[in-house]
């Protein structure tokens, strides 16, 4: 199963340069890297990235992340994937731009 992470372009650029990341400021504050499932990611974009452009959507294979990935209750009691280790560039299956359209973010075909 693919899980998704939304990053701002500077966060993505820093991640690519370093080869790993401890996440965005919210991840550093919470002590884990927040991910969403395909069915959750639009809500995540709307709640945490409303009106933001120049975002990058990153996909990772949940099983390949191993035991450091925990499924924990979050928004509305739904289980969200949380990674309790740095995310490595080698963990990324693909990355795609997440542009902002008139009615919200435009997700790549087949993601939602």
Tell me the pLDDT of the chain (112 aa) as tens digits.
999 999 999 999 999 999 999 999 999 999 999 999 999 999 999 999 999 999 999 999 999 999 999 999 988 889 999 999 999 999 999 999 999 999 999 999 999 8
- Which residues, listed in sequence order, are joined to residue 20 by a DSSP beta bridge? 88
| Residue 65 confidence (pLDDT) | 98
| Residue 68 confidence (pLDDT) | 98
| Residue 73 confidence (pLDDT) | 94
| Residue 99 confidence (pLDDT) | 96
111: alpha, beta or left, given left = phi > 0 and alpha = psi -120 to 50? alpha
Q: State phi, psi for 79 to the nearest 5 degrees.
A: -80, 125
62: alpha, beta or left, given left = phi > 0 and alpha = psi -120 to 50? alpha
| Residue 60 confidence (pLDDT) | 98
User: What's the fold here for domain 2-100?
Assistant: ADP-ribosylation fold (3.20.170)
| Residue 75 confidence (pLDDT) | 82
């Amino acid at each position: 199963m693919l899980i998704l992470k939304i990053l701002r372009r500077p966060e993505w650029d820093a991640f690519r340069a370093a080869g790993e990341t401890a996440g965005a400021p919210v991840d550093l504050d919470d002590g884990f890297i927040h991910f969403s499932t395909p069915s959750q990611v639009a809500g995540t974009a709307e709640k945490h990235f409303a009106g933001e452009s120049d975002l990058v959507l990153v996909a990772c294979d949940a099983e390949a992340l191993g035991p450091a990935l925990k499924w924990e209750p979050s928004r509305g009691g739904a289980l969200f994937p949380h990674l309790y280790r740095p995310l490595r560039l080698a963990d990324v299956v693909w990355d795609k731009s997440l542009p902002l359209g008139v009615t919200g973010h435009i997700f790549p075909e087949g993601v939602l």
